[in-house]
Structure 1
């Protein structure tokens, strides 16, 4: 469930931000703002679903998923094939996110 929440949040955030990018940078209609706002609201909701006890830890793990998802967006939505540095960077971020998520915690929650 947590993985799906993070992936859904990443897709919603990227799509929402891209809607503003399309409006401001690509000259698309201002009507792109409405789905962008809805998508960003969905992103915020989805980020509340993971089971992490602290928001900051959840956001840190999400950051790794977001970076990898952004590289996929670059390829699938924008048609630019990621180079080895994009892929390596995304893998490093996912490894860091895994360390944060799966790292042992003591009972006090720290």
Structure 2
């Protein structure tokens, strides 16, 4: 598995977990103590994105968007117990294709 894929996968898990911590606190009425690990997870997310080999931060973040969307669909299924429908899957596939074009497309020299 490439370093980019590992960084993106870890970043997606960290971002979703961090955001879910806030969701749990505010929407699921969990303890405010959920904020601390949520903040740590969001800091890990930001650091992991710096490990992606790219000459521009914006390109790294744009490409990450596709990975984030697919990871969110997997979170929906695995953590929240809602099975993705065909539209979730089709949308995720389109986003991954867009990510690949952004990140791996040939660049003029």
TM-score bin, normalised by smaller chain: over 0.9
Corresponding residue number in structure 2 for 1:3: 5
Q: How does 1:67-78 map to 2 (within 5 A)?
A: 67-78=69-80
TM-score of the pair, normalised by structure 1: 0.96
Alpha-carbon RMSD: 0.4
| Displacement after TM superposition at 1:93 (Å) | 0.2
Gaps of 5+ in 2: none
Corresponding residue number in structure 2 for 1:83: 85
Gaps of 5+ in 1: none
| Displacement after TM superposition at 1:63 (Å) | 0.3
Corresponding residue number in structure 2 for 1:52: 54
Corresponding residue number in structure 2 for 1:65: 67
> How many aligned residue pairs are there?
107
Runs of 4 or more above 2 Å deviation: none
**Which SS does the other structure have where 2:37 is aligned?**
helix
TM-score of the pair, normalised by structure 2: 0.97
CA separation in 1, counterparts of 2:47 and 2:104?
A: 23
| Displacement after TM superposition at 1:101 (Å) | 1.1
Corresponding residue number in structure 2 for 1:12: 14
